[in-house]
Amino acid sequence: MPRLRLGFIIVLLLGVNASPVFAQGVTGSVQVGTLGIGAQVATPLASRINFRGGLDFQPVSFEVLADDVELDVELPAATVTAVIDLYPNESGFRLSAGVLYFGGSLGLEGTPEEDVELGNNVYTPAQVGTIRGSLGTSSLAPYAGFGWGNAVGTGFGFALDVGIAYHGTPEFSLEASGPVSSDPQFRRDLDEEAESANDDIPGVASVYPVLKLGLSYGF
């Protein structure tokens, strides 16, 4: 921890002598993209180096039909972003690296209206109750990307970010609220369904695509 603090202090000291083009004031912005709708602040650390921190929310929920069961899908509630931007030149092009924190997992919930087959057995809606699924990943994900637009400046500006965050291979799990939820055979059948879903998850799902468009204002 002392090393981390010392490094942070050094970066702040470097920012004192930063060039005026890339180190003026603090900027606030709003953005929309694959992480949802959010806001962020940016501040200079050194010449051609900025820090950005943001918070995004997913206001979208939707329904899907799986094996004749209508499921409500809830996306992760919030994502916290912390990145460092490096500007190789004064064109506005930037390289970014940092970390994303996913505040939750993708959730599924539904109640069957007809008999459902789980594993090799058939269960009635009364036996199953409400089915809840969760697609979990690592909460912390390293991020790398690029973009355009100097986030620190005066007046209004536009920005674009393109990148990927590596959160590991998602793992799907299932639970049920019905009277047979604690039955060993039912648990095995439910776990078998979850395992089958995990086998179908492609390797590319270990990364999350990030695309953002933003409008900023610098002071």
* Residues 218 and 153 sit within 8 Å (Cβ to Cβ): yes
| In-domain check, residue 79 | yes
| In-domain check, residue 5 | no
With bands split at pLDDT 50, 70 and 90, how would you rate the model's confidence at 152?
Answer: low
| In-domain check, residue 7 | no
DSSP letters along 51-101, please?
EEEEEEE---EEEEEETTEEEEEE--SEEEEEEEEE-SSTTSEEEEEEEEE
Residue span of the structural domain in which 138 resides: 15-218
pLDDT, greater one: 203 or 163 = 163
CATH number at residue 116: 2.40.160.170
Taking residues 137-148, report their average pLDDT.
Answer: 95
Lookup: tokens for 78? 């919030």
Range ranked top by mean pLDDT from 9-18, 61-70, 178-187: 178-187
| In-domain check, residue 3 | no
| In-domain check, residue 45 | yes
| In-domain check, residue 166 | yes
Taking residues 31-42, report their average pLDDT.
Answer: 94
Assess whether pLDDT exceeds 90 at residue 54.
Answer: yes
With bands split at pLDDT 50, 70 and 90, how would you rate the model's confidence at 151?
Answer: low
| In-domain check, residue 47 | yes
Number of separate domains in the chain: 1
pLDDT, greater one: 108 or 76 = 108
| In-domain check, residue 6 | no
Measure the CA–CA gap between 101 and 77, rounded to whole angstroms. 11
